[in-house]
Amino acid sequence: MLKKDYASVMSRSNEIMKKSLGIDFSQFESGSIAFDYEKLMEATGYTLEKIIEIQSRTGVGNTPLLELRNITNLARKYAKPGYGARIFIKDEATNASGSFKARRAACAVAHAKKLGFKGVMAATSGNYGAAVASQAAMQGLNCIIVQECYDSNGVGQPEIIEKARKCEALGAEVLQLTVGPELFYTFLSVMEDTGYFNASLYSPFGIAGIETLGYEIAQQCQEKAGRFPDAVICTNAGGGMITGTARGLLKAGASDTTMVAASIDLTGLHMASDRQFNKKSCTTGHTGFGVPFAMDPDHSDVPRSAARPLRYMDRYVTVKQGDVMYMTEVLANLEGLERGLAGNTALAAAFSLAQELPEDAVIVVSETEYTGAGKHIQPQMSFARDHGIDIRFGDPDTEDQPGVNLILPKDPSFICHQDADIHHFRQALIKKAVKKSGVAMPTEEDLSFLADETKSDIAFVKETLGL
């Protein structure tokens, strides 16, 4: 009988994941730093056209691209004459489960069914759990979602609790855990016991599913604006959104589109801290996930993550919690769209970035998500007040202190993005990759790989490593 203590289960992690995903990750490795990323993506065995067909069977994809004319006009009020790009939004809330995560889940669950698995599993506290549950229900498979939900006092945020409710409503069994290392251990242990498919956010199936989003954005932008988008803004956490969207845009021929990642600035809060778990007022799309996953994409639930954000990112910007909550109200009041905070993170950034671009430029916000119940801003702000967070109007850019206050902008002119140091993130990825590999002297293949990983060049890699 297998030992089920923490150390024993974790020591079998690669074996468990290989069996549960049907992919032998060793075939992509070089024995050094480099691995064959494109070969990993090809391992799905699905073309873009096939994924579109799979998604269309279960109410996923072909979502509308909406021009936000009123928000664009508002942005132009604060821009210099002739500036204020047209802002469009891809309304992913119209997917079967209410978010773009349905694209990731459709491909993964369809593959699990094809291989004969009786059920699927995912480790997530977010919309992906609902997406996997929805797709599993449609395709007749069992579903287990392992969710990091509570602090040690058994208290969970309204938004997180709502996501668990939706997973259960869609037929999934939800295992709710406290914040900490038990999430991955429990996930592996249950997956080993059940023999279920690992419908990971970070598998090539999940990322390939998002490529259809980028492809649709390119096509619909051509139809509505007569051009490819000048910039696409993606809310960034684990990096899958920007990776898959960029790959889809490239497959559609939109090679000159600037890819911008946007995260909520939660500097100072530690995501694995029990004490700080409920001090954040936005539970996803923030720097607590976005920054570490950018610098080290492989600390996920698969040996090699298919989400490689720095391969595709041209710019990384941050906004404040109050900016996003304010923009959520603006979207509802001016455009008649009540949507959740995740997509509105990118929308807040787009509102500010649009003021840098001329009026004929086109910015696309890559997603919206469903809202309601605990996912609405009102219960989140009430929860924040109950946990001692000071909520008031002011200047988020200068007054915001994550875990202490939540500053709503006094007026739209105070919605402001800040550029994160993407140069530093690229250097950090290079150094971490070399250190993790234990390689004393990188090969030419390694240097080329690291240049691709950071969307840079070999000279930059050598300079970073002092070679």
pLDDT at 88: 98
Give the structural domain span for 427.
422-465
Q: Within a domain: residue 11?
A: no
Q: Within a domain: residue 49?
A: no
Q: Within a domain: residue 242?
A: yes
Q: Within a domain: residue 123?
A: no
Q: Within a domain: residue 117?
A: no
* 399, 432: one domain: no
Helices marked H in 57-99: 69-77
* 303, 439: one domain: no
pLDDT at 2: 84
pTM for the predicted model, two decimal places: 0.96
Whether the Cβ atoms of residue 224 and residue 88 lie closer than 8 Å to each other: yes
124 pLDDT higher than 90: no
The backbone region for 62, taken as left when phi is positive above 0, alpha when psi lies in -120 to 50, beta otherwise, is: left
Whether the Cβ atoms of residue 339 and residue 273 lie closer than 8 Å to each other: no
Residues in the chain: 467
| Residues of the chain above pLDDT 90, percent | 80
181 pLDDT higher than 80: no
Whether the Cβ atoms of residue 284 and residue 339 lie closer than 8 Å to each other: no
* CA dist., res. 282 & res. 345, Å (int): 10
* CA dist., res. 377 & res. 339, Å (int): 10
Render pLDDT for 33-43 as a digit per residue (tens, 0 to 9): 999 999 999 99
* 387, 434: one domain: no
pLDDT at 310: 98
pLDDT at 272: 73
pLDDT at 11: 87
210 pLDDT higher than 80: yes
Q: Within a domain: residue 22?
A: no
* CA dist., res. 233 & res. 237, Å (int): 13
* 245, 313: one domain: yes
Tell me the backbone φ, ψ of residue 121, rounded to 5 degrees: -135, 155
* 375, 448: one domain: no
What is the pLDDT averaged over residues 225-247?
97
Render pLDDT for 42-79 as a digit per residue (tens, 0 to 9): 999 999 999 999 999 999 999 999 999 999 999 999 99
pLDDT at 300: 77
- Give the pair of three-digit tokens for residue 172: 């999934």
pLDDT at 457: 97
* 283, 321: one domain: yes
The mean pLDDT value of the chain amounts to 94
Whether the Cβ atoms of residue 22 and residue 43 lie closer than 8 Å to each other: no
Whether the Cβ atoms of residue 60 and residue 96 lie closer than 8 Å to each other: yes
* 390, 430: one domain: no
Q: Within a domain: residue 47?
A: no
Range scoring the smallest mean pLDDT among 139-148, 173-182, 233-242? 173-182
* CA dist., res. 106 & res. 271, Å (int): 29
Render pLDDT for 152-161 as a digit per residue (tens, 0 to 9): 888 988 998 9
Q: In this structure, what CATH number is given to the domain that contains residue 88?
A: 3.40.50.1100
Tell me the backbone φ, ψ of residue 283, rounded to 5 degrees: -95, -5
302 pLDDT higher than 90: no
- Give the pair of three-digit tokens for residue 219: 């096509």
R_g of the chain, CA atoms, integer Å: 21
* 298, 428: one domain: no
Range scoring the smallest mean pLDDT among 286-295, 306-315, 403-412? 286-295
What is the pLDDT averaged over residues 390-408?
96
- Give the pair of three-digit tokens for residue 430: 């290079």
What is the pLDDT averaged over residues 424-434?
97
* 370, 440: one domain: no
pLDDT at 372: 83
Domain count, the chain: 2
CA atoms within 13 A on the CB side of 212: 29
Q: Within a domain: residue 202?
A: no
**Residue 15 banded pLDDT, cuts 50, 70, 90:** confident
* 413, 426: one domain: no
Q: Kindly state the helix (H) or strand (E) to which residue 119 belongs, with its residue range.
A: strand 119-123
**Residue 195 banded pLDDT, cuts 50, 70, 90:** very high
pLDDT at 404: 94
Q: Kindly state the helix (H) or strand (E) to which residue 239 belongs, with its residue range.
A: none
1 pLDDT higher than 80: no
Q: Which of 419, 437, 455 is the last residue of a domain?
A: 419
* 402, 438: one domain: no
Who's near 351: CB < 8 A, 6+ residues apart? Answer: 71, 74, 75, 87, 327, 330, 412, 415
Strand partners, 363: 87, 231
* 415, 427: one domain: no
149 pLDDT higher than 90: no
Whether the Cβ atoms of residue 85 and residue 361 lie closer than 8 Å to each other: yes
